[in-house]
Amino acid sequence: MSRTTTAPVERQGLMNHRQILFVIFGLMAGMFLSALDQTIVGTSMRTIADDLDGLSLQAWVTTAYLIVSTISTPIYGKLSDIFGRRPLFLIAISIFLVGSLAAGFSESMYQLAIFRAIQGMGAGGLMALPLTIMGDILAPRERAKYQGYFLAVFGVSSVIGPLVGGLFAGADQILFVTGWRWVFLINIPIGIVALAVVVKFLHIPGQKRRENVRIDWLGAAAVIVAAVPLLLVAEQGREWGWSSPGALACYVVGAVGIASFVAIERAMGDDALIPLKLFRSPTFSMSTVLGVLVGFGMFGALLTVPLYLQLVNGATPTESGFQMLPMIAGLMISSIVSGQLISRTGRYKVFPITGTAFMSLGFFWFTNLSYDKPYWFMMIGMLLVGLGLGQLMQTLTIASQNSVGPRDIGVATSASTFFRQIGGTLGTAVLFSVLFSRIPQTIAAAFVDTSLQRDVQSALADPAVVADPGNASILKLYQAAQGGDTSSVSGALNGNTSFLNTADRRLAAPFLDGFASAAVTVFWVALAVVLVAFVLSFFLKATPLRQKSAIDEAHDDAQAASAAAAVAAQEAAAATGALVAPDTGSVRTSAAAATTAATAPGDDRDRPGENGSLRGS
């Protein structure tokens, strides 16, 4: 039966719909590990730090994971292009499980930071390779409608992660093991299931190890030298000071690393870790820039939203996770709808435009935030931002993958993910710096607000309020303010803020108003960045989406090359008279056989089996 160029890829290519779903199940199992780990640890970190006597070191636990997972992303992409996706994905899961087991038995914060770095080494592959494999097995036009499965993984992990993390952190022991250690140990049974699913179902036909390829070890070293100091200063700069000697050293080392990386990649050509030829494509270049800007706004500002829900609305970390559901719902709805439209029409240019527009509306909505706004006000803003993100996350990845050839899909996907993570890290660092640098000013302004102070004086005149133990901490701050110690007041939101949850609302109002005003500044900065992305999205060159998956294109290219070689052999033989020589029947027979094999629909080793597996995989 002949294949048509308009039929969906799962009905015309090397894999059918059932086999594609099996592969996706394997990918989802691996990605769930990494997605859950990002949400489950946050709610339990304070308990972990208290138990290991290292509260001041908890930032390094997060930083170690972030840095290693970010810099390993492009390395996984390139190595998977050379050695194949499946072995690299299995390696990523295994490394992640080793790190999880070790982290579960950490005896100090230093050990935990090291073991979290090992987890991050695996997480880099768990986040980048699933999108790459999707690019292998699905045509760009069909890919969008399947990515809703992956967004569902993120949605579920975002909801249950904080809940499970809070439950583990609150338990003294579970099966004779300290409760918080199960935050990491829970990955073991999930990971074993993921490994079993991947081993059973993740078989991609037609993929072979590329021969005679140089591995860009110098490029990998250069990206580490470039990224590590910049990510480090982004995470720690607020504590160190942006102009401190340590920060300046990171700037210099990072700049040297970037220059070295560009020179090395130019010399390595097609074998580079991130080939510079990718940026010759205007589609890939613009998608990368948009990814950095969107990551900046998304990661930076959306970390402010749960902080607001906890600090101002008094939600627990677990509750704030559930209260983020409007954003997750918007993300999933817009992803599914845009995916279906891309699959049916083959057009995607409109979605980066509408996606950044929705994000801009959401951040503009948040600029009207105040400490006394009800929760439904936050719901509207989160829904708008989620509707924007759902259109952007998958569309920019599809555009990047569609702009390169089949052999570069892995490196293009990982590069796109890498730069988006860089943007997110920078956004988190810059916007949090804006937030905490503004808080002293906004709290000072709140303390001279006549309406707020009138309520404060009313509360202070009430003997029951003064005698309430829940107000003891905040009353000390007011005494410090009356004594001229304004630094204690402005620094109150930079440490333990639990006193705001127990204090009389009138006494807490100046602090809550100060934080809300500082958060508004963050949303204005995020809005400005996303508006730049909105303008640039009009310049995204939307190349027509290919009708075939990467493995089908490679398969067809191999057939065409074999057919051309057979024809060339025939012509060469005819030109030398070999076809008419009495003793050369074997030559004629071999050429005919080669032509027949080249035009046949592939051998059984690359064809799907009947039971959902693949022969010869």
Rg over alpha carbons for the chain, rounded to the nearest Å, is 28
Instruction: Give percent of the chain with pLDDT exceeding 90.
Output: 18
Identify the pLDDT of residue 206: 56
Q: What is the pLDDT at residue 128?
A: 81
Q: Where are the alpha helices (DSSP H) in 84-108?
A: 85-104
The helix/strand/coil state of 608 is strand
Helix, strand or coil for residue 483? Answer: coil
> What is the CATH code of the structural domain delimited by 8-206?
1.20.1250.20
Residue 75's nearest CA partner among 374, 540, 344, 413 is 413
Confidence of residue 256 (pLDDT cuts 50, 70, 90): very high
Q: Categorize the per-residue pLDDT at 584 as very low, low, confident or very high, splitting at 50, 70 and 90.
A: very low
Query: Per-residue pLDDT averaged across 146-175, rounded?
Result: 76
> What pLDDT is recorded for position 485?
62
Residue 384 is predicted with a pLDDT of 94
Q: What is the average pLDDT across 129-137?
A: 83
State both tokens at 113.
Answer: 């930071």
Cα angle 390, 394, 398 (rounded to 5 degrees) comes to 155
Task: Give yes or no for a contact between 336 and 144, defined as CB atoms under 8 angstroms apart.
Answer: no
Which residues, at least 6 apart from 359, have a Cβ–Cβ distance to it below 8 Å? 294, 297, 298, 384, 385, 388, 389, 392, 530, 533
Neighbouring-strand partners of residue 608: 614
- pLDDT for 528 equals 94
- 483 pLDDT tier (thresholds 50, 70, 90): low
Structure tokens at 268: 């390595």
**Residues 137-160: what's their mean pLDDT?**
74
In this prediction, residue 438 carries a pLDDT of 86
User: Which pLDDT tens digit goes with each residue over 426-444?
Assistant: 887 788 888 888 888 888 8
Mean pLDDT of 206-232: 79
8-206 and 274-548, same CATH topology: yes
Residue range 471-497: average pLDDT?
Answer: 68
Quote the pLDDT of residue 12: 44
pLDDT over 70 percentage in the chain = 83
Instruction: Delimit the domains of the chain by residue range.
Output: 8-206, 274-548, 550-606
- Cα–Cα distance for residue pair 431/305, rounded to 1 Å: 12
Alpha-carbon gap, residue 279 to 295, rounded angstroms:
19
Return the structure tokens found at 39: 């949400």
The yes-or-no verdict on residue 343 having pLDDT over 60 is: yes
pLDDT (0 to 100) of residue 607: 39
CA 564 to chain centre: 43
Report the pLDDT averaged over residues 517-528. 92
Mean pLDDT over residues 370-396, rounded?
90
Mean pLDDT of 302-315: 82
User: Per-residue pLDDT for 500 more than 80?
Assistant: no
Question: Domain 274-548 has what CATH class?
Answer: mainly alpha
Reported as a pLDDT band with limits 50, 70 and 90, residue 162 is confident
Q: Given this model, what pLDDT does residue 316 score?
A: 74
d(CA 33, CA 189): 10
The pLDDT value recorded for residue 566 is 83
Q: What is the mean pLDDT of residues 374-397?
A: 90
Determine the average pLDDT of the residues in 17-39. Answer: 79
**Dihedral sign for Cα atoms in the order 71, 72, 77, 82:** positive
User: What is the C-alpha separation between 283 and 396, in angstroms, rounded?
Assistant: 9
CB 592 within 8 Å of CB 244: no
Task: Give the least confident one: 137-141, 282-286, 550-554.
Answer: 550-554
Mean pLDDT over residues 494-518, rounded?
Answer: 79
**Is it the case that residue 492 has pLDDT exceeding 70?**
no
**Is the pLDDT assigned to residue 538 strictly greater than 90?**
yes
- 337: nearest Cα among 325, 324, 351, 327: 351
8 has a pLDDT exceeding 60: no
More confident residue, 363 or 465: 363
Assess whether pLDDT exceeds 80 at residue 277: yes
pLDDT at 592 over 80: no
- Mean pLDDT along residues 300-327: 80
Task: Work out the pLDDT band at 526, boundaries 50, 70, 90.
Answer: very high
The angle that helices 350-366 and 375-402 make with each other, rounded to 10 degrees, is: 150
Considering only 101-110, 209-218, 546-555, which range has the smallest mean pLDDT? 546-555
Between 22-36, 229-243, 432-446, 473-487, the lowest mean confidence (pLDDT) is in 473-487
Place of tokens 């930079």: 494
Please tell me the distance from the alpha carbon of residue 27 to that of residue 223, in angstroms, as a whole number: 27
> What's the pLDDT score for residue 588?
46
- The confidence score (pLDDT) of residue 495 equals 59
Among 99-113, 419-433, 479-493, the range scoring the smallest mean pLDDT is: 479-493
Weakest mean pLDDT among 101-115, 302-316, 516-530: 302-316
Average pLDDT over every residue of 281-287: 90
